[in-house]
Amino acid sequence: MDKLLIKGRVPLIGEIYASGAKNSALPILASSLLSNSPLTVGNLPHLNDVTTMLELLGSMGVEVMLSDDMEVQVDASSIKNLDARYELVKTMRASILVLGPLLARFQGATVALPGGCAIGSRPVNLHIEAMRAMGAEITIEDGYIKASVDGRLKGNKISFDPVSVTATENVIMAACLAEGITTIQNAAKEPEVIDLANCLISMGARIEGAGSDIIKIEGVESLAGSAFSVMPDRVEVGTYLTAAAMTGGKVKIKSAKPEYLTSVITKLESTGALIQTGEDWVEITMEKDRPNSTSLTTGPYPSFPTDMQAQFVALNSIAEGNSTVTETVFENRFMHVQEIARMGGNITLKGNTAVIEGINTLKGAPVMATDLRASASLVLAGLVAKGSTTIDRIYHIDRGYERIEEKLKMLGADIERIS
């Protein structure tokens, strides 16, 4: 099993390009099931989760043609079955996103209850109740969601409590081919939801309000394929910016969308970093030896993203001063804390809040990744630690970061993948 070996205390300096957003690519690939002609998706990140989604679509009979530059043509006109098998679904919660499109276009679906990172319950009941409200009959048998509808789905008013990104995306896709108008209240506002809506609009969908808490979708008879490019990954960009702040570096990231990073940039500036932005780039310069500590609370977009929480726990562990990091989105997302503590971090958990006393430096140690963003925080901790850090179970990080060791090497980091 692969590991990452990092020798720390090297400032990150240089330029890299942002990869496409995994959390945008997965629902967009699922949306290909709605189309009666090929959908071409560009700027796909080369990630395990993307590969899994393509394998899942292929297992249904969807024709997938992948080019060398990670552009893929997905043709669902030849679909042969409506089953999302457990062997593929078990590793990725985003596989639930095929439920809405299959019901909308084919009036049936059998989808295994999904797996993925163990960071909280993340129940699928919001998806199921929304589909029922649109006329679907759904049962859960032997670990599978079995769904069917007599004729077309029917538009309805759907209100989410709590707000859910994937449930919002599932309903948007289902509503595109439903009869009548669907209104989603308390909809997720994430940029990835906007990206999906823009892709669907390019396919002929009628969607208003994406990016707000009320989204209206007027169903149409059919959708056709188009060509669409996935937005840049704001969490990847935020992770590398945080790494530069921690190491006292200077990094420019191209093909980025700074307007989607406002909450992260604000917190990085409070650590003492100088940040400059352009239309499609962001640059960070950290001239302090250690960043200032910064307290934060996670929340749905546009609040501080839960997917950046672990990285800022790592930053605060070596910052000047004390801080608190409060997690409000997932109830079990502090598994990285005990690993950073193995490196000398002074962190105390009190309910859903990490109380952090910044120390001068961490010390390299063997640590283990427990989920996707936790693994990223351990990489950041390793970059600033004295000595060598070995990170085990890095298959987690390969689910969400494209060629992370190669990009960090381009910025001067001493990091390698070992067996």
Residues labelled as active-site residues: 117
Residue found by looking up tokens 């919002």 in the block: 168
Quickly count: other Cβ atoms within 10 Å of residue 372's Cβ. 22
**Rounded Cα–Cα distance for residues 118 and 96 (Å):** 16
Q: How far apart are the first and last CA of the chain?
A: 6
**Rounded Cα–Cα distance for residues 168 and 177 (Å):** 15
Name the amino acid, one letter, at 222.
S
Q: What is the dihedral of CA 176, 179, 224, 112, to 10 degrees?
A: 60
Contact 144, 111 (CB under 8 A): yes
Residue found by looking up tokens 């499109």 in the block: 101
What is the pairing mode between strands 72-75 and 39-42? Answer: antiparallel
- Phi and psi angles of residue 370, each rounded to the nearest 5 degrees, phi first: -115, -20
Contact 158, 130 (CB under 8 A): yes
CA-nearest of 196, 247, 260 to 18 is 260
Length of the chain: 419
Buried b (16+ CB within 10 A) or exposed e, 89-100: bbbbbbbbbbbb
Residue 285 pairs in a beta bridge with 250, 274
**Rounded Cα–Cα distance for residues 419 and 413 (Å):** 19
If DSSP codes are grouped into helix, strand and coil, which group holds residue 223? strand
Q: Using H for helix, E for strand and C for coil, what is the string for 27-95?
A: HHHHHHHHECCCEEEECCCCCHHHHHHHHHHHHCCCEEEECCCCCEEEECCCCCCCEECHHHHCCCHHH
